């Protein structure tokens, strides 16, 4: 059984083991409270004693669809949320992967799409809370608003 943050470093040395390790209850319990702010408010990082760095970015994308005249097409919004995990192993090439990807394109109604999106955001928030990360403050999410024709 993993006991300390230092013991976890080997689990995050390659992508396959990192993907599995991130969701294990014992790993989450050891990492809880270890994350601190990164270079930006929405980047959460933990640095292991051996030099490996683990970065988490919680992303929320809201996309509006516009017609050829630049007017919003009602009911064509697209919502996307995911967790981006970047691992910078000491002395090795870094890697990243995304997990918990949920994309909701206007369901039978806009309100149903918004409910599905809110559910996905709540699940990511719950996972962040289990790691000791607070996503309720301003700038905690990497939020992107975009438009396309």
Mind listing the pLDDT tens digit for each residue in 112-137?
A: 777 888 899 999 999 999 999 999 88
Which of 87, 146, 81 has the alpha carbon at shortest distance from 117? 81
Is the pLDDT at 10 greater than 80? The verdict is: yes
| CB count in 10 Å sphere of residue 113 | 19
Average pLDDT over residues 53-67: 88
How many domains does the chain divide into? Answer: 1
> What are the CB-based long-range contacts (under 8 Å, 24+) for 41-47?
41/138, 41/139, 41/140, 42/139, 42/140, 42/141, 42/142, 43/142, 44/128, 44/131, 44/133, 46/5
CA distances to 76, 91, 100, 146 from 111, in Å: 12, 48, 22, 19
Q: Please give the share of the chain, as a percent, with pLDDT higher than 90.
A: 34
pTM of the model: 0.83
Which range marks the domain in which residue 16 is found?
5-148
Query: What distance in Å separates the CA atoms of residue 59 and residue 145, rounded to the nearest whole number?
Result: 11
* Nearest alpha-carbon partner for 7 in 25, 28, 27, 24: 27
């Amino acid at each position: 059984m993993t006991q300390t943050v230092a013991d976890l470093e080997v689990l995050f040395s390659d992508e396959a083991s990192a993907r599995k390790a991130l969701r294990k209850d014992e790993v989450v319990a050891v990492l809880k409270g270890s994350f601190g702010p990164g270079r930006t408010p929405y980047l959460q990082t933990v640095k292991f004693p051996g030099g490996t760095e683990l970065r988490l970015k919680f992303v929320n994308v809201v996309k509006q669809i516009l017609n050829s005249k630049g007017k919003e097409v009602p009911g064509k919004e697209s919502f996307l949320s995911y967790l981006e995990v970047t691992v910078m192993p000491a002395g090795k090439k870094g890697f990243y992967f995304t997990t918990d990807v949920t994309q909701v394109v206007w369901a039978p109604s806009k309100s149903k799409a918004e409910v599905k999106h809110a559910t996905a955001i709540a699940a990511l928030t719950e996972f962040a809370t289990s790691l000791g990360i607070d996503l309720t403050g301003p700038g905690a999410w990497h939020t992107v608003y975009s438009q396309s024709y």
